[in-house]
Amino acid sequence: MNAEPASPTASGDLAHGPAPHLVTALPGPKAREWLARDAAVTSPSMARVYPLVPERAAGMVIEDVDGNRFLDFNAGIAVNSTGHCHPHVVAAIERQAHDLLHYCSSDFSLPVYVETCERLAATAPMHGGVRVFLGNSGTEAVEGAIKLARYATGRPNVIAFLGAFHGRSLGSLSLTASKSHYRGGFGTMLAGVHHAPYGELGYVQRVIFKHLSSPEDVAAIIVEPIQGEGGYVVPPAGWLAELRKICDEHGILLIADEVQSGVGRTGRMWAIDHDGVEPDVLLAGKGLASGLPLSAVIARHDVMSWGPGKHGSTFGGNPVACAAALATLDLVEESLMANAASIGKRLLALLAEVQSRHPAQVRDVRGRGLMIGVELPNHDEAVAVEQSCFRRGLLVLTAGESSLRLAPPLVISRDQADTAMAILEGALDEASSG
């Protein structure tokens, strides 16, 4: 198997053609037609960041319905980890689709489900045995983890962190604290959830345990080892170890939400590996199956001890998604995790140079591997740079209050990294002059 970072795809002409390459004004005429149809029939709850209407994609490149090609630096919000339509992943999907599309994994044993759980268990950053439950999405993994923590400990409360994003279903939304807009209008959230500042040493003991909840009532502390929606924030050294110590002292479970940061994105399989901290439960999703819906709850054997019927999913661990995950793990372990570390280091160096030329605009550059945040002066400027990048053919997204998030597919090449940084600097120049 060839898993080189710039490996060709089924649409090799697209993957290796020039990008960005813009042939119409944006949005183009066909895109405008689709955007009008979209606005007429789809839920208005779905935010549309910029008028992109993809038709096909390969590697790092997305082509829209008008033939405009974009360099993808958001990977479907960190989902397309192996790039778009990687041939190894596509071949695995095709093989599985010919054999078995679906059978409910909650009621029957599927070999590909078991194999996926075995592969994930082998990567787990915990000593001793683990068990794995497969779901469809990150928010489902979080919901499962809440249930599991309450069941395993017999306790009701959960501690999460300001700036966190854990999902939009009601239980996970109760943990989410990145934007009040996400929570507004939905009434009472899940009881027993307390939020602490992300990365602040001593706060849990000094404030939550003293004023809000006895530690004996806390089932779990859930944390993103690097915050995603909150702005791609890397915690200070020692803070995750402090959380581990608190959990050990009080019989609390430590849940690492790696839905966005996991599966090689930070240059290691799991972001928590950088801190040498072992969680009790780890959650995966997004990049796990290179674009197919799949998530995982990976927990210590003694923690995941609930009995039959306590949790399940009709579609979770779908055979086709599992096949995609196995192919994804092949690629990540063989070369793409190392590529993420290498290109991520290069991007951070290039961004440091950009920051030196734009000190008034670029307030901070932070991240690990291909999970990088660029802090700008305010929200409006972050949006202006995001939109300018789109008009120039580079797809980036904002995060937090005033950050850009850079999360390209792990197949990115040096040339593509250099091209993206030149475009970003042009967008910064436009924002400063506007």
285 and 342 share a domain? no
Do 47 and 102 belong to one domain? no
DSSP state of 216: G
User: Per residue of the chain (434 residues), what is the pLDDT tens digit?
Assistant: 444 343 433 456 888 888 999 999 999 999 999 999 999 999 999 989 999 999 999 999 999 999 999 999 999 999 999 999 999 999 999 999 999 999 988 888 899 999 999 999 999 999 989 999 999 999 999 999 999 999 999 999 999 999 999 999 999 999 999 988 889 899 889 999 999 999 999 999 999 999 999 999 999 999 999 999 999 999 999 999 999 999 999 999 999 999 999 999 999 999 999 999 999 999 999 999 999 999 999 999 999 999 999 898 999 999 999 999 999 999 999 999 999 999 999 999 999 999 999 999 999 999 999 999 999 999 999 999 999 999 999 999 999 999 999 999 999 999 999 999 999 999 999 998 86
Residue 362 · residue 355 · CB < 8 Å:
yes
- Length of the chain in terms of residues written: 434
Q: Which two tokens stand for residue 289?
A: 């199956």
Amino acid at 204: V
| 291 and 339 together in one domain | no
Contact at 8 Å (CB) between 74 and 51?
no
Q: Does the active-site annotation cover 380?
A: no
Residues 306 and 398 in one domain: no
Count: domains in the chain: 2
Q: Are residues 211 and 266 in the same domain?
A: yes
Same domain, 286 and 352: no
Q: Among residues 329, 355, 385, which one ends one of the domains?
A: 329
Question: Of the candidates 329, 349, 367, which is a domain's last residue?
Answer: 329
* Per-residue three-class SS string for 93-156: HHHHHHHCCCCCCCCCCCHHHHHHHHHHHHHCCCCCCEEEEEECCHHHHHHHHHHHHHHHHCCC
State whether 282 and 393 are in the same domain.
no
Do 193 and 62 lie in a common domain? no
Query: Which structural domain, as residue segments, surrounds residue 383?
Result: 14-85+335-433
- The answer to whether position 8 is within a domain reads no
Burial of 244 (0-12, 13-18, 19+ CB in 10 A): buried
Q: Are residues 316 and 354 in the same domain?
A: no
How does DSSP assign 298-344, residue by residue? Answer: EEETTTS---TTSS--SSTT-HHHHHHHHHHHHHIIIIIHHHHHHHH
Rounded distance between C-alpha atoms, residue 312 and residue 249, angstroms: 31
Last residue of a domain, one of 300, 329, 358: 329
Asked if 378 and 246 sit in the same domain, the reply is no
Residues 202 and 235 in one domain: yes
Q: Which of 64, 66, 72, 257 is catalytic?
A: 257
Start-to-end CA span in the chain (Å): 49
Instruction: Look at residue 1 and tell me if it is in a domain.
Output: no
Residue 54, domain CATH:
3.90.1150.10
Choose, from 66, 286, 330, 390, the residue flagged as catalytic: 286
Question: Could you give the CA distance from residue 28 to residue 52 in angstroms, rounded to a whole number?
Answer: 9
Catalytic hit among 161, 165, 209, 390:
165
Residue 55 lies in a domain: yes
> Which is nearest to 168 in space by CA: 192, 152, 184, 156?
184
For residues 232 and 266, membership in a common domain is answered with: yes
Distance CA 409, CA 394 (A): 13
66 and 23 Cβ atoms separated by less than 8 Å: yes
Predicted structure pTM score: 0.95
257 is catalytic: yes
Q: Assess whether 286 carries a catalytic annotation.
A: yes
